[in-house]
Amino acid sequence: MNIIPYTDKHHKFREKTRAFIEKEIIPHVDQWEKNKIVPKSAWQKMGREGLLCTTIPKKYGGPGYDLLYAVIVAEELARSNHYGLHAVLHSDVAAPYIYTYGSEYLRNKYLPGCCSGDIVSAIAMTEPNAGSDLASIETMATEDGDEIVLNGSKIFISNGINCGVAVVAAKNPSDKSPYESTSLYVVESDLPGFIRGKKLEKMGFHSQDTVELFFSNCRIPKTNILGKKGMGFKMLMEKLQFERLLCSVQTIATAEFSLAQLLKHQKTTSVSGQPVPRTQSSQFALVEMATEIKLGKTMLETLIVDHMAGKNILKETSMAKYWNSELARRVAEGCIELHGMEGALESFPVVRAYRDVRILSIAGGTTEIMKGIIAKEMGI
């Protein structure tokens, strides 16, 4: 059953993407995980291969593909069992803010570098006292002549060390509500007052450079605002739907990877010269995982088609985001359990998958936030 209308071009692009990942990413993952960072050279290789910012038009250095190419890259990267090279955040979250809401000047200045991998982008929303509640951010943006002065701090910023630019959410001094006084700015990381804090140690995403960011009288031109002043919250909400769909793509791909690893183990491993016992309980567990993955993927693919058609699927996207991220966690845990004692060893790839996928039920909006959105959409 084909729900997503992939063409021959899409299939060829997937083959190209998978071949690149097998050659240029997977052999280096273990070392990157030990180093706790992905080198910028890997980003540049992605760019040269045309795997970054796939939806950005050729006019600004991108290939100008449809959204399905972004889905393919997200899926194949997740299947590599590695979330350190957070290209999805760069290509399909941060850079599109610049393309959609930026002036021609900002597009021409930053997007070619984003597409080539010479510029890595980040998005700085979360603060120590404002996680999923973006209305509570405290970073201030004060006008001073032709400049904006930023003061405040951000936390849990992915791509924070490698980034050359960050899309920063900040409040403007105003008596308006937080929803009407938040703006987004493009901030270059080498500006005075742009300060990188410590790299954060996480249970997963070990090679993903997540840091604290501080802004201390950081001055940027007024021209670096995205969209209109005070429209930041609305812009963030508009972009979250596709971000959460891609998060769901990644979690389903990780669930598929985890189950495939267990099946491979059971088919190739023997105990005392005999195949791994296939008890009814283990068979049923595998069947249940495979069924849930199929159901989650079917819903996800339907939503991707609906999103491309411009439909409002806020409720359903929230359902998929929470369900698939929790599903991937259950599947990874179940695969480790069925693997036996060897399942606790670092040599079993699902161990990394289990650590990494746990973060995806938090990033982009926690499961609890998703359920709150769904309840509101249901009128309950």
How far apart, in whole angstroms, are the C-alpha atoms of residue 9 and residue 14? Answer: 9
Quick one: 217 and 282 in the same domain?
A: no
Q: Is residue 3 part of a domain?
A: no
Whole-angstrom CA distances from 322 to 86, 203, 251, 301 are 20, 20, 10, 15
Quick one: 100 and 138 in the same domain?
A: no
Asked if 258 and 353 count as a contact pair (C-beta separation under 8 A), the reply is: yes
Q: Is residue 285 part of a domain?
A: yes
- Residue 272 has a pLDDT of 52
With 0-12 CB in 10 A as exposed, 13-18 as middle and 19+ as buried, what is 98? buried
Q: Which two tokens stand for residue 340?
A: 């036996």
Whole-angstrom CA distances from 272 to 118, 275, 276, 277 are 54, 8, 9, 11
- Residue 334 has a pLDDT of 92
Quick one: 209 and 293 in the same domain?
A: no
Quick one: 345 and 317 in the same domain?
A: yes
Provide φ and ψ at 6, rounded to 5°: -65, 140
Closest CA to 161 of 32, 65, 274: 32
Instruction: Note down the domain range covering 199.
Output: 123-230
Task: State yes or no: is 243 an active-site residue.
Answer: yes
318 CB-near residues (< 8 Å, 6+ apart) = 244, 365, 370, 371, 373, 374, 377
Quick one: 157 and 85 in the same domain?
A: no
Q: Is residue 215 part of a domain?
A: yes
Q: Is residue 256 part of a domain?
A: yes
CATH number at residue 194: 2.40.110.10
How far apart, in whole angstroms, are the C-alpha atoms of residue 2 and residue 312? Answer: 22
Q: Which of 83, 118, 153 is the last residue of a domain?
A: 118
59 CB-near residues (< 8 Å, 6+ apart) = none
Convert 39-70 to b/e letters by CB count within 10 Å (16 or more is b): eeebbebbbeebbbbbbbeeebbbbebebbbb
CATH number at residue 247: 1.20.140.10
Report, as ranges of residue numbers, the positions in the chain whose pLDDT lies below 50.
Answer: none
Quick one: 294 and 165 in the same domain?
A: no
Closest CA to 66 of 54, 74, 76: 54
Quick one: 131 and 174 in the same domain?
A: yes
- Residue 280 has a pLDDT of 80
Quick one: 256 and 326 in the same domain?
A: yes
CATH number at residue 97: 1.10.540.10
Count of structural domains, the chain: 3
Quick one: 259 and 369 in the same domain?
A: yes
Asked if 165 and 119 count as a contact pair (C-beta separation under 8 A), the reply is: yes
Quick one: 346 and 245 in the same domain?
A: yes
Q: Is residue 1 part of a domain?
A: no
Q: Which of 118, 143, 174 is the last residue of a domain?
A: 118
Asked if 365 and 314 count as a contact pair (C-beta separation under 8 A), the reply is: no
Q: Which of 206, 230, 254 is the last residue of a domain?
A: 230
- Residue 137 has a pLDDT of 87
Distance of CA 172 to the CA centre of its chain: 28
Q: Is residue 324 part of a domain?
A: yes
Q: Is residue 244 part of a domain?
A: yes
243, 292, 301, 316: the active-site residue: 243
Quick one: 364 and 243 in the same domain?
A: yes
Quick one: 226 and 242 in the same domain?
A: no
